[in-house]
């Protein structure tokens, strides 16, 4: 099972707001020995969002979708999820109860009596209308829940709500995926070589060391090293440290034979 992230909202794509979900989710995964396989940004376009969610449901991946689950005209995620699954939208009884509790709290704070039939209340209840068969994700901030179907999870766009809900998904629904050791890397800062010239070495390392991935990150204007390449190997939890070290040693030896200048070595 791979892990994916969908971030929804025109405000992200237009630059009005900066995305705070990607880096946080990567950190939450890393703390559990996991890593992110893919991420997508989607605007408030129901047709495009429906297609994106249809792929997510079909993938079998663990997917977090952030944003668009409110009840204003620019929120399309609930409707797109229903369309992607060809299901109807229904008020979830548990969600309605939680939302009603929040409505009563807000009314009490203002010295008023809550009215379930008030137009504002009816609009708020719409936030609990989910695709048939959905289950709830608790929201510790204001109790307005998110929802999930299978392994695709939907949380609000507000980071203060979304991030603890992400943690709930990882810890309460997928604790079996947690690893004591996640992705590990060994790399070198290399000068005096071009990527094209080093490609045969990278291909040989991957061919001779199954399960190892080689990566190359070139830079042309680094303040310390100037033009250079960070060249390295990485391995997931299925491979032991010995396998990673063997691949790294082979990479380093190949660079020495090539005549590249190794500036420094990095461990992550």
3-177: CATH homologous superfamily? Answer: MoaB/Mog-like domain (3.40.980.10)
| Residue-range domain boundaries for the chain | 3-177, 184-267
**Which of the pair, 238 or 27, is modelled with greater confidence?**
27
Report how far residue 113's alpha carbon sits from residue 91's, in angstroms, rounded to the nearest whole number. 23
Lowest mean pLDDT among 74-83, 106-115, 179-188: 179-188
Residue 268 has pLDDT above 80, yes or no: no
Report how far residue 150's alpha carbon sits from residue 59's, in angstroms, rounded to the nearest whole number. 11
The model's pLDDT over 134-167, given as tens digits with 9 standing for 90+, comes to: 999 999 999 999 999 999 999 999 999 999 999 9
Q: Supply the mean pLDDT for the chain.
A: 94
Q: What's the confidence (pLDDT) of residue 42?
A: 97
**Which runs of E-coded beta strand occur in 97-225?**
129-131, 135-137, 146-149, 152-155, 184-191, 213-222
Percentage of residues in the chain with pLDDT exceeding 70?
100
- CATH class for the region spanning 184-267: alpha beta
The model's pLDDT over 83-116, given as tens digits with 9 standing for 90+, comes to: 999 999 999 999 999 999 999 999 999 999 999 9
């Amino acid at each position: 099972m791979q892990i994916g992230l969908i971030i929804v909202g025109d405000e992200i794509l237009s630059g009005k707001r900066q995305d705070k979900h990607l880096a946080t989710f990567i950190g939450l995964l890393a703390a559990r020995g996991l890593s992110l396989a893919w991420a997508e940004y989607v605007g408030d376009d129901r047709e495009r969002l429906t297609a994106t969610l249809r792929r997510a449901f079909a993938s079998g991946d663990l997917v977090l979708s952030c944003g668009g689950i409110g009840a204003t005209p620019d929120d399309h995620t609930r409707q797109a999820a229903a369309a992607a699954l060809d299901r109807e939208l229904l008020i979830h009884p548990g969600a309605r109860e939680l939302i009603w509790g929040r409505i009563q709290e807000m009314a009490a704070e203002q010295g008023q009596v809550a009215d379930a039939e008030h137009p504002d209340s009816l609009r708020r209840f719409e936030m609990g209308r989910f695709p048939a068969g959905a289950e709830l994700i608790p929201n510790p901030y204001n109790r307005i829940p998110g929802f999930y179907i299978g392994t695709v999870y939907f949380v609000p766009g507000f980071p203060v709500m979304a991030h603890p809900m992400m943690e709930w998904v990882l810890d309460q629904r997928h604790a079996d995926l947690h690893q004591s050791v996640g992705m590990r890397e060994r790399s070198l800062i290399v000068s005096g070589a071009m990527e094209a010239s080093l490609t045969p070495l990278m291909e040989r390392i991957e061919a001779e060391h199954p399960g190892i991935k080689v990566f190359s990150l070139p830079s042309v204007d680094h303040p310390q090293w100037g033009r250079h390449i960070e060249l390295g190997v990485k391995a997931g939890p299925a491979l032991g440290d010995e396998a990673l070290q063997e691949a790294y040693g082979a990479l380093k030896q190949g660079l020495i034979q090539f005549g590249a200048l190794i500036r420094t070595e990095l461990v992550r």
